[in-house]
Amino acid sequence: MMQNVVNSIPTPNFEYALLSPILIMFFAACAGVLIEAFLPNEKRRLTHLLVIFTSLLLAFFAVILQSGPNGRALVASGTVALDGPGWILQGTILLIAAMSALLFAESKVDPLGDAFAARASTLPGGEEEKTVTKLGWAQTEVWPLLSFSVTGMLLFVTANDLLVMFVALEVMSLPLYLLAGLARRRRLLSQEAALKYFILGALASAILLFGSALTYAYTGSLEFGQISNGISSANNSPGLLTAAIALVAVGMLFKIGAVPFHQWVPDVYTGAPTPVTSFMAGAVKVAAFGGLLRIFYVAFGSLVWDWRPLIWVVAGLTMVVGSVIALSQSDFKRMLAYSSISNGGFILVGFSGTNRAAIAAVLIYLITYAFATVGAFALITLIREQAGESATLIRWKGLGKKSPLAAGLMSLFMLSFAGVPLTSGFTAKFGVFTAAIAGGATPLVLIGVLASVIAAVFYIRVIILMFFSDPIPEGPFVVVPSVFTTIAISASTVVTIILGLFPQIVIDLVSSASVFLR
Amino acid sequence: MIAAIIALPALSAAILLSLGNRTNKFGPWLAIGASTGSFLIGFWQFLQMLSRPEEERAVVTTVYEWLAVPAAGFKVNFALQLDQLSISFVLLITFVGTLIHIYSLGYMSHDENPRRFFAYLNLFVAAMLLLVLADNYLLLYVGWEGVGLASYLLIGFWQHKPSAAVAAKKAFVANRVGDFGLSLAIMTMFIVLGSVSFSDVNEGIKGAPAWVSLTLGLLLLLAACGKSAQFPLQSWLLDAMEGPTPVSALIHAATMVTAGVYLIVRSASIFNASEIAQTAVVVVGTISLLMGAVIAAAKDDIKKSLAGSTMSQIGYMILAAGLGPIGYVFAILHLITHGFFKAVMFLGAGSVMHATNDNVDMRRYGGLPKVMIFTTITFFIGYLAIIGIPPFAGFYSKDHIIEAALSHSWWAGAAVLFGAGLTAFYMTRIVVMTFVSKPRWEDDVHPHESPLSMTLPMIVLAIGATSIGIILTQNHIFEHWLEPVTGFVEPEPPFSIQTITIITLSVVAIGVLAAIWQYRKVAKVAPKNVSFVVTAARKDLYGDVMNEALLMRPGQATTKFLNIFDKSVVDGFVNGLGALTTGISARLRRSETGYVRSYAMSIVVGTAILVIALLIVRL
């Protein structure tokens, strides 16, 4: 009898080679923990840097090597789908993570050290904090946390099973909650942000899990392909399925920061250390949209007409509310947070397109937006005052006269966010709008165009402020970063320009790989 | 490889402009190197083209797919077309361009920032090469705007002088009017013919209704008028002489201003299809060639007089281009010979100015042969070439244009003949006032010959101005060379060719003698009591007045009206909307309370609404 039960559980079959990007990042994270445990304090930073960049590089090469036609398969007993979009998302996440990691590693711009608190456990503003800061301690746990989060993302965008997806979501999110609370400056704000993020994230996870349970109740399966089959064959109450879709969607839309589940975004983006914010705005956004694409187009693909009205409403609300509130922001980081929300809305517009075109358009938007946003946040870390980063917009007056290069690059990213032609942002917006029109969502596109007009106001206001006002006395100064930040900013600049001038490169790449496996 | 012809100067300009003062030392040499490299590659391509049989000479290279909007069926490649016509331009631009680069080395040696000057020159060469090498109208437009920009930057190079800054702006604005025509033409092509590439347009125009070729022809003519300073958009060219003289030689005489001629010849199939458009071209050419000559005969500023002459000579080319297949080849031939002889005269003028403390007033020159012999001789060769004395270059090209014009109509023939006489008059006037007459120098002027870097290019160009005409017309080489691109029909003038040559030379002789008689004594100050013709010509034949009446005043009136409309109606609407949006924004912002409980509430309520809404829709 006992023997029987054991036999009835199938032995999971792992295709280690195909799963290697995920595994590499997982081992890197474990190695990070061991380094924390066994290496002396002064050797940790360098070792961590070696481990993280080597593993990110290796994982990226693993993605490139395996993403060919032979690398498209359902693996790990059908719980992980390695398909075109999956590989592209994994590759993008690894690149964005590498750029964020470069920002994590920067320790030149702040005279006190890197962007993280010397000891997270010390009381903000207390004596102990001053002592450890003076001693030059560093909270090197950020590195394994980052690796764990990347591991979770890589799994999340390829998960083909609601339960695996949920686990991946938690592996990706839990380190983020911690990272958000580790800022060196304005620590109370940072800790408050972390706690908010955690509580609301837990709430959203619970909703997602509830939705997954309802899905299982209706279809009898957690695997996307079988959910899709189950929907057409099962004859349970349709209300059950509708609620399931809505709840799963909410769980995802929370991570994306779609209205009305967006309110954590400004607080968390502002409070978190800027390198972490760049990671959240870049990589997390890519991962969350990747997951949403897969759920909606694979698991619920046959119910397009049920979930599309939902996406329409949420997309319209997100674009308009995000852009409108951004108008009255006085803090640059907060403005970018709202910009991130409204961009999420634009990406959702792509979901109203037909299958293949929509997937390609969304992927292109994700790639271009992620690179530009990391660049913008990287620039924030350089514009400083005595007390840390200077994010109060009004104080940026005349920055273009003091540092034309920094202000010029910032303007480039602003123009890209605004979707001005010849920047990557135009390529992206053009793509989702075209896809949506082809999918019959012209009214939504009209709302989108109006929202971009509103959004252009606050992006261009930054440029006007920097270039067409006189500098204020004792205003912020621009520091010269070390090679880490320089690489990150250069990379995002190059990508933003190249994808604006030669969009065909990414369009070809993505269009050839925009079919999900099921 | 063809792309390298453009890439070299473009790259050099990019380096010089982006690295700034760090490149001051080697900047001019890099620029000269880039231009020379371009010429060598171009020459090599030319040799290769010669080695191919006639029907394989034209090649198109696609560098990359430039723009594509599949939904609208719109696709433009960054593609370069190297055929007999474009290689002729490539050689002219890079050869004369390189010589003028070298000349600038001496001419700009006293300037504060020669590096920036050379960067702009390179930028110009790159843009001009793109203009003539593009295989479609849109890419041509990029080069077209590029040369406009370079011209603007170079006219205003001495921007500390208000007159230079104003002249640059005027050139830019006047060119915008023409550019507007070109952009409209391109849009019309795309809408009606579905493509903007030369080959597609040439094919498409055959089956198109007559109004298409007429519209396109007139729009392209407008573009050509702007860029080539033809009536009625001519007024900017005289002011453009505020730029450094090498610029006037290269851009405002030899190359850029001839872009309009190139455009018309390149669009031969459009003009061939519309007789009205062709006639319009001939009329514009005729008016411009006479106007330019009259202005040139009245100006005391040597550069402005030469500028009037440029306008007049381009009028010849435009007129020839308007004659159709009998004229295209000769338009380009005259363009090339003009490139040589006008460049050498401008460089000579620059050399004279260099020697007389940058004085441009011909009434204060005179007696120069003794002190600057190279300048005098080379200028004199240019003079013989432009008035059309055999065997100098201008004789061959102008004679052919006169033949072609005579076989077109009596009035065009009469105009070009009269123009030839005027040319002889004003050119003799320049030579007499500048060189031959007695010295009338300012007190502190001590003329001296220019350095070798300046005289050498002049000598080379003078050799060209002497020989290029006879070389290119031997056994009809040039006609056969261009025929595959532009087509060619032998002109059939009403008189024999010998008769025409004799008539022309007599008219020229009358002009020369009249000028010598008139300027046997030159006053230091321009006489006041002159005929109304001279008064009008001194004021550029009221070109500015006409601009103001035709373009500026109506433009200003429209602007005024639109401004009122904008302030009351549009702004009222937009500002109201803006205020509304900002108000909403401030209110919505309050939803951001900072309390995690209210955020959670919003999530839960949002979820509930979504679920209920979906259920209602579904059930």
User: A435 at the B interface (CB within 8 A)?
Assistant: no
Integer CA distances (angstroms), A38 to A116, A118, A139, in order = 21, 19, 15
What's the CA gap between B50 and B57, in Å, rounded?
7
Q: Which of A200, A205, A242 to mutate to test the interface with B (most CBs of B within 10 A)?
A: A242
Q: Which of A143-152, A283-292, B263-272 has the weakest average pLDDT?
A: B263-272
Strand residue runs (E) in B264-403: none
The tokens of A447 are what? Answer: 């709302």
Residue with tokens 């602007």: B559
Q: Which of A205, A324, A331 to mutate to test the interface with B (most CBs of B within 10 A)?
A: A324
Interface of A with B in 77-96 (CB under 8 A): none
Nearest to A328 among B71, B582, B602 (CB): B582
- What torsion, rounded to 10 degrees, do the Cα atoms B14, B20, B26, B30 define? 10
Strand-by-strand arrangement of the A388-389 sheet: A388-389, A383-385, A477-478
Question: Which residue has better confidence, B448 or A432?
Answer: A432
Which of A48-57, B41-50, B345-354: highest mean pLDDT?
A48-57
pLDDT of residue A88: 94
pLDDT of residue A5: 52
pTM (2 decimals)?
A: 0.67
Nearest to A254 among B581, B584, B603 (CB): B603
User: Which ipTM was obtained for this model?
Assistant: 0.87
pLDDT of residue B359: 80
Q: Is A192 helix (H, G, I), strand (E, B) or coil?
A: helix
What's the CA gap between A393 and A407, in Å, rounded?
13
Strand residue runs (E) in A191-320: none
Integer CA distances (angstroms), B161 to B155, B158, B166, in order = 11, 6, 9
Interface of B with A in 570-599 (CB under 8 A): 578, 581-582, 584-586, 588-589, 591-592, 594, 596, 598-599
Backbone angles phi, psi at B81, to 5 degrees: -115, 120
Residue A271 pLDDT greater than 50, yes or no: yes
How open is the CA angle A498-A500-A505, to the nearest 5 degrees? 60
Nearest to A327 among B582, B596, B604 (CB): B582
Burial A323-358 (b: 16+ CB within 10 A, else e): bbbbbbbeebbbbbbbbbbbbbbbbbbbbbbeeebb
Question: Which residue has better confidence, A67 or B572?
Answer: A67
User: B610 at the A interface (CB within 8 A)?
Assistant: yes
The tokens of B592 are what? Answer: 């951001």
- pLDDT tens, position by position, A487-517: 999 999 999 999 988 888 888 888 888 888 8
Please state, for a pLDDT cut of 90, what percent of chain B lies above it: 18
Q: What is the mean pLDDT of residues A102-109?
A: 91
- pLDDT tens, position by position, A372-408: 999 999 999 999 988 888 888 888 888 888 889 999 9
Sequence ranges of the domains in chain B: 548-618
Using the beta-carbon criterion (under 8 Å), do B581 and A454 form an inter-chain contact?
yes
Please state, for a pLDDT cut of 90, what percent of chain A lies above it: 63
Nearest to B596 among A196, A242, A247 (CB): A196
pLDDT of residue B324: 85
Single-letter amino acid code for the residue at B329: V
Question: Which residue has better confidence, B389 or A63?
Answer: A63
CA atoms in the 13 A half-sphere facing the CB of B534 = 11
Which chain A residue has its CA at the smallest distance from B594's CA? A267
- pLDDT tens, position by position, B313-331: 999 999 999 988 888 989 9
**Three-state SS letters, A29-45:** HHHHHHHHHHCCHHHHH
Q: What is the mean pLDDT of residues A88-112?
A: 93
Is residue A96 within 8 Å of A371, Cβ to Cβ? yes
Average pLDDT score over chain A: 90
Q: Is A237 helix (H, G, I), strand (E, B) or coil?
A: coil
pLDDT of residue A490: 95
Q: Is B361 helix (H, G, I), strand (E, B) or coil?
A: strand
Name every chain A residue with its beta carbon within 8 A of the beta carbon of B604.
203
Residue A181 pLDDT greater than 90, yes or no: yes
Using the beta-carbon criterion (under 8 Å), do A454 and B603 form an inter-chain contact?
no
The tokens of B217 are what? Answer: 């022809």
Using the beta-carbon criterion (under 8 Å), do B610 and A327 form an inter-chain contact?
no
User: A252 at the B interface (CB within 8 A)?
Assistant: no
Nearest to B602 among A260, A327, A502 (CB): A260
What's the CA gap between B213 and B204, in Å, rounded?
10
Using the beta-carbon criterion (under 8 Å), do B585 and A328 form an inter-chain contact?
yes
pLDDT of residue B106: 83
Longest dimension (CA), chain A: 84
- pLDDT tens, position by position, A215-242: 999 998 999 999 998 888 877 778 888 8
pLDDT of residue A31: 96
Which chain A residue has its CA at the smallest distance from B71's CA? A434
Using the beta-carbon criterion (under 8 Å), do A250 and B610 form an inter-chain contact?
yes
- Give the contacts of B411 (CB within 8 A, at least 6 positions apart): B286
- pLDDT tens, position by position, B529-577: 777 777 777 777 777 777 777 777 777 888 888 888 878 777 777 777 7
Using the beta-carbon criterion (under 8 Å), do A246 and B606 form an inter-chain contact?
no
Residue B253 pLDDT greater than 60, yes or no: yes
Angle separating helix axes A483-501 and A355-380, nearest 10 degrees = 140
Residue B105 pLDDT greater than 50, yes or no: yes
What's the CA gap between B17 and B30, in Å, rounded?
12
CB pairs under 8 A between A and B: 90
pLDDT band at A1 (very low <50, low <70, confident <90, very high): very low
Residue with tokens 């363009």: B335
